[in-house]
Amino acid sequence: MWTIPNQITLFRILLIPVFIIVFYLPVEWNYFGAFVVFWFAAISDALDGYLARKLNQSSAFGAFIDPVADKLMVAAALIMIAEDYQTWYIAVAAMIMISREIFISALREFMSSRGKRDIVAVSTLGKYKTAAQMLGIMGLIWQPSANDALLNFLYIPHQLINGAAYFFYAIATILTVWTMVIYFKAAWPELKD
């Protein structure tokens, strides 16, 4: 149970309160600091999966806890973004994304009980959704401004990062609905039985 990948996953769960605290710190760099913590969590998600395969340390506990850690971090970020931006489209998209995760988790549990979980396994489109979601969330967490030292050093206009964040957030919202419909259609023969 205490394999390296599982320890990384549990560490990612412990990063959630750190992420929240940094986001709300009354300092100038709080958003960038929260972005770094979230980015680190996203990288650790890819790392634990890679190590589980590379070290042959896949486990039932890891298969259970890894998506839980992902969903907890993403839900925390979406709630904080919706509260911080206080705009209807950010809040509605956050609600759609969180609702979809609950719906798909319940659907996968149901399909597992019928011995057909593979029908609703993570698809390539689902992976694109996750990538767009992570990029959108990270940009919205960061909220770079015209006096952002890092971007000025790299000669990157802050509007580019902000625009990309909104773009990926919108794409993630569309893919969220699209993949939910695909998974639901795949499971429908079992659901109507």
What pLDDT, on a 0 to 100 scale, did the predictor assign at position 181?
Answer: 95
pLDDT digits over 134-182, tens only?
A: 999 999 999 988 778 888 887 888 899 999 999 999 999 999 999 999 9
Burial category of 164 from C-beta neighbours within 10 Å (exposed 0-12, middle 13-18, buried 19 and up): middle
Q: Could you read off the pLDDT tens digit of each residue along the chain, which spans 193 residues?
A: 788 989 999 999 999 999 999 999 999 899 999 999 999 999 998 898 888 889 888 888 888 898 899 999 999 999 999 999 999 999 999 999 999 999 999 999 999 888 888 888 888 998 999 999 999 999 999 998 877 888 888 788 889 999 999 999 999 999 999 999 999 999 999 998 7
Fold category of 4-191 in CATH: Four Helix Bundle (Hemerythrin (Met), subunit A) (1.20.120)
Give the pTM.
0.91
SS3 of the chain: helix, strand, coil, percent, to 5 = 85, 0, 15
DSSP string computed for 37-82 = HHHHHHHHHHHHHHHHHHTT---HHHHHHHHHHHHHHHHHHHHHHH
